[in-house]
Structure 1
Amino acid sequence: MSHHLLPEVDRTWLRAVTNCFLIRDPQDVLASYTRKNHEPAAEDLGFIQQADIFDAVHSITGTIPPVIDAADVLRDARRTLHLLCKAVGVEFTDAMLSWPPGRRSTDGVWAKHWYAEVERSTGFRPFQQRNRQVPAKLRDVYDCCQSIYERLRAKRLQ
């Protein structure tokens, strides 16, 4: 959750950890977020912060950190997770493709607000292409987030 890493926090510690980035189409993010907050600012959605953190990691480490797109995970979870595991030096296992339903203690305080669908699931749902309309009042927010999404998407593992 990119917006939790505040700009004033020193980021040199990012060199000591393995960083990877999950991105999601801003239309899907807006559709989800506006169910709880009807008029979000671009900063509320985390794209700006995610790009800043991505750039910081790239600058600090000298390498492009792995990026995966949520749509790629839904289209082919096995392949996408294999690519991610290889990139971060973790062995892929089939256990990554399914899980028991219910809340987990590691979900954090926001789980009850955002994770109802995940808690009901036992695996990745199939990808569904959605052609969502962005309300006019959110067009500037969407445009800002979309340009960042496209920039990071160009770096995604394929």
Structure 2
Amino acid sequence: MSPDASFETPSIGSAASVPASSTSSSSRPSNIILWVHPRSTSTAFECMLLARPDEFEVLHEPMGETWYYSKERVSKRFDDKICDESGHGELSYAKAWAEVAKPHPTMRKFSKDMAQYLIDTSSPNGTVAASFNGAKTTPNNPTLIPTSELLQPHISHTFLIRHPNKAVPSYARLCYPGAPTGFDYFDPSEMGYKELRMLFDFIREKTGKTPLLVESEELLKAPSKVVKAWCEHVGIEFKQEMLEWDDAPETRTHFEKWKGFHDDAAKSKGIGQTTPDAKEGDKPAAPKKETTLSPELQKAADDCMEDYEYLRSFAKKDF
């Protein structure tokens, strides 16, 4: 099914306004988004593109501050005082999305973000954030972004998932009283698998095309094959050196806005275990010993499994 005639004319970065210098091919999107859930190993993609600063502008979870802190916030995690003191109170969905969607004048733009930051599950589909000033959308759109803004032709939407038994405990370890992240409790509703599925299904239905979806496990097992396939899909020249970023200072500072969440990424030097054999032949590292989750975390992981397995059924397999 293609986008219907009820789409309003795009007001931000429509295909006609994409600068010729931002893309060498009319079939190649100038803006790329990787939609994820928390702790999906998605920062690896950011590090790869941060290491190419002359080619890419990289945005790290640009919708997050709006979802957590703004006057239009959906999250109930922080009280009014914290939100007011955050400095993000005047952000809005329209303002944040404009930054995501606007093409860069000379480079391509990459954003990594959480699908849940676009969605208010307490509101019916077809609800638009107030800051879009009554813009029309389609009734089955689960996001707060008008359909014509979300599905602009110069934006490529891709997805990454990780098994809940890995992602849930990884997230919970960062959410406890006194945590440096400022997240002082674990909230299972923030795992975001449901919202990722909602966004994936909507894009698939409205465009008539299945977005590229990659599994974290495959990325870590065969990084060069997976990254090459992802690059081909979005029109990026794959370079083997993308898989390592030892001397890229950008990866040390890029993640500071969410303190404590990306310390491992900031210290990392490449994707997965980059032993000589693994780099050359994409051989998987020795598996880590499985740990038993607490009943609380196992329930949280189990609650994500239906959405995870559904999304996984669309994951690219032929690397």
The percentage of aligned residue pairs carrying the same residue is 26
- Structure 1 unaligned runs (5+)? none
Measure how far apart 1:2 and its partner are.
2.0
Choose the corresponding residue for 1:136, options 288, 292, 295.
295
Q: Indicate conservation of the 8 Å contact 2:174/2:261, yes or no.
A: no
Q: Report the CA distance shift for 1:130/1:60 in structure 2 as closer, same or farther (over 3 A).
A: farther
Aligned residues: 156
1:14 and 2:163 matched:
no
Measure how far apart 1:11 and its partner are.
4.8
- Aligned partners of 2:294, 2:301: CA distance in 1, in Å? 9
Counterpart for residue 37 of structure 1:
175
- Aligned partners of 1:35, 1:29: CA distance in 2, in Å? 10
Q: Indicate conservation of the 8 Å contact 1:2/1:53, yes or no.
A: yes
Measure how far apart 1:6 and its partner are.
2.5
- Aligned partners of 2:196, 2:188: CA distance in 1, in Å? 12
More helix by share: 1
TM-score (norm 1): 0.86
- Aligned partners of 1:53, 1:115: CA distance in 2, in Å? 24
Residues 51-87 of structure 1 deviation map (CA, whole Å, 9 limit, x = unaligned): 1111111122111100111111111110001111222
SS at match of 2:260: helix
- Aligned partners of 1:64, 1:89: CA distance in 2, in Å? 17
Q: Which has the higher contact order (CA 8 A, sep 6+)?
A: 1
SS at match of 1:19: strand
- Aligned partners of 1:11, 1:53: CA distance in 2, in Å? 13
Counterpart for residue 115 of structure 2:
2
Superposed, 1:75-94 pairs within 5 Å as 75-94=221-240
Measure how far apart 1:21 and its partner are.
0.4
Counterpart for residue 73 of structure 1:
219
Q: Which moved more, 1:139-148 or 1:7-16?
A: 7-16
Q: Indicate conservation of the 8 Å contact 1:54/1:65, yes or no.
A: yes
TM-score (norm 2): 0.45
AA of the residue aligned to 1:46: G
